[in-house]
Amino acid sequence: MDVVACAGIVEFWPGRAQVWSLLSDQMPRYRKTVHRAVKTFLDGYRVRRLECVIDPRSETALRWAQHLGFQVEYLMRGYTPNGDDQLMCVRMD
């Protein structure tokens, strides 16, 4: 048995949290099942501001975040340790 996806939420303080995920190369094969599970979980998670950091070069990741209800808030220049830009996406409740 292989792990397809692993994800979670880190709460910074009441009202603000950030999602994270690690996805295997097999994720596309299970995308509908994983999407439904993640969407159901997020729809039941109550927090005023839920954040998601996305690599702007990954159109697939951005599309998925948007399907989960996230919107691009701004571009974070030089955000990663090697200086890559990232997008801050948010889902407001």
The count of structural domains within the chain is 1
Q: What is the mean pLDDT of the chain?
A: 95
**pLDDT at residue 1 greater than cutoff 80:** no
Contact 71, 49 (CB under 8 A): no
> How large a percentage of the chain has pLDDT more than 90?
90
For residue 63, the domain's CATH number is 3.40.630.30
Query: Mind listing the pLDDT tens digit for each residue in 62-82?
Result: 999 999 999 999 999 999 999
Please determine, for residue 18, whether its predicted confidence score (pLDDT) is greater than 90: yes
> What is the model's pTM?
0.90
Question: Could you list the residue range(s) of the whole structural domain that residue 27 is in?
Answer: 5-92
